[in-house]
Structures are given as C-alpha cells and as structure tokens.
Amino acid sequence: MTQTITIDAQQFVLHPLGGIYWVEKSMLLISDVHLGKVSHFRKFGAAVPQKAIHKNFLLLDKIVSEFQPFHLCFLGDLFHSSLNKEWDFFANWVAKTPSKISLVIGNHDIIASEKFTALDIEIFTELQLDNFLLTHHPEEHQKLFNFCGHIHPAIKLQGFGRQRLKLPCFFKTKKQLILPAFGEFTGNHTLKPKKEDDVFVLVEGEVIKI
C-alpha cells in the first residue's frame, strides 16, 4: 500500500519499495540502488548468494511497471563500485525500459560518465525542477524543497515489553525528503525525528506514517 503526500501543490506517491512517483511530472525517483555491490563483495570472498544480483532488477521492473513513468531519475549511488559483470545486466535492463532515464551523481558513482551517456542516460550533479531540487547528498535550501538519498534512513520503534524494530523509512522535514535505499544489499542509518518531522516506515509491503 502506497502513501500520497502533497508538497507545494504537487502530489508524490511513496511506494513500499522505496521509490517516489511525482504525479504531475510522471517521474519516478529512486535512490541508492548500489548495483554491482553484490559482485564486488563476492569478488573479495563474501558469501553473498548469486541470486541477490538479480533481485534489484526484479524490484526495478516491479516499480517501473506499476507507475510506467515517463522519466526515471536515480538520485545517486546507482552503481556501488567500478565496472563489473552487473553493468551488462544493467545495460540490458535499460534497453528494455521505455522511460527516459537520468542519474544525479552520487559518491559511489565512479564509472565514467561516457558509459552512461552511451546508454542515453543523462548525468547531473543536481537537478532543479520547478521548486524542487534533486540531489544525492542532503542539501539545505531556503527556497527549494530537496529530494535526496545517501543517508539510507531508518528509524527504531519500540513496542510493548522490549520488542524493538529498525525499519527503513522516508524521512521528511520542512524542506527536505530523504529516500530510503532502494537496493536490497544495503545497510541503513538510524535517524531521530523531531516533533515537526514526518516519518513513513516501510514494513510488510506498506508505507505507514508514524
């Protein structure tokens, strides 16, 4: 189940896989997929299942098919490291994906930009659309609302007794919304919300405001 929120008279649909669909722009925002991370760790002996490589592409297919966006924008850390065999999987995925694709460069995106442009992927250091600023690292801006990633936000919840949960989330402040990491093989960072912040956790296929 999704959650729809309104920011500056624009509608944004928060999806339980961690993406945001901007209705008026037919634009899907996804952050921190970290493709290539599984192959990178397996190369150095980590016991990561081979099937984990394909999970991210299955999830990308799922969310793109649900929204069918005109424009798909990755907010950084699309690839985790240098080129490896997952690049070929990605190139094949791009070839069959009808959306226009852009990448806002993140700190892990060290692959030469020419490789992306050869796939007709536009590259940006940041992207401003109307009153919104799309970045990888969180940025504070007085006039623009910032969509970003990088943090891999999560929040800790405590139930009755001593039960504790750590759940990925969309973390919204007055002028910023941090997306959760989309990639399956990623960690997260616990944030502590203030009273005026909004937190939307991802749990069991739902987006729930807490």
Structure tokens at 82: 């240098």
- What torsion do the CA atoms of 36, 60, 98, 30 make, to the nearest 10 degrees? -80
- Burial label, 50 (beta-carbon count in 10 A; 0-12, 13-18, 19+): exposed
Other Cβ atoms within 10 Å of 67 Cβ, number: 20
Angle at alpha carbon of residue 150, lines to 206 and 68, rounded to 5°: 50
- Residue 49's pLDDT is 53
User: In this predicted model, what pLDDT tens digit does every residue of 78-136 receive, in sequence order?
Assistant: 987 767 788 999 999 999 999 999 999 999 899 999 999 999 999 999 999 999 999 99
User: In this predicted model, what pLDDT tens digit does every residue of 159-206 receive, in sequence order?
Assistant: 655 667 889 999 999 999 999 999 766 778 899 999 999 999 999 999
Instruction: Say how far apart CA 150 and CA 136 lie, in whole Å.
Output: 6
In Å, how far from its chain's centre is CA 3?
16
- Residue 42's pLDDT is 47
Q: Please give the model's pTM, rounded to 2 decimal places.
A: 0.92
Angstrom CA distances, 27 to 35, 53, 75, 141, 147, stand at 21, 25, 12, 22, 13
User: In this predicted model, what pLDDT tens digit does every residue of 42-55 receive, in sequence order?
Assistant: 444 444 556 666 88
Domain boundaries, the chain: 3-209
Q: Spell out the residues 6+ positions from residue 134 whose beta carbon is closer than 8 angstroms to its own.
A: 29, 73, 75, 104, 124, 126, 127, 128, 146, 147, 148
CATH topology of domain 3-209: Purple Acid Phosphatase; chain A, domain 2 (3.60.21)
**Helix H or strand E encompassing 178:** strand 176-178
- Residue 47's pLDDT is 45
Q: Is 122 helix (H, G, I), strand (E, B) or coil?
A: strand
Nearest to 126 by CA among 111, 142, 99, 148: 148
Instruction: Say how far apart CA 14 and CA 18 lie, in whole Å.
Output: 7
- Burial label, 14 (beta-carbon count in 10 A; 0-12, 13-18, 19+): buried
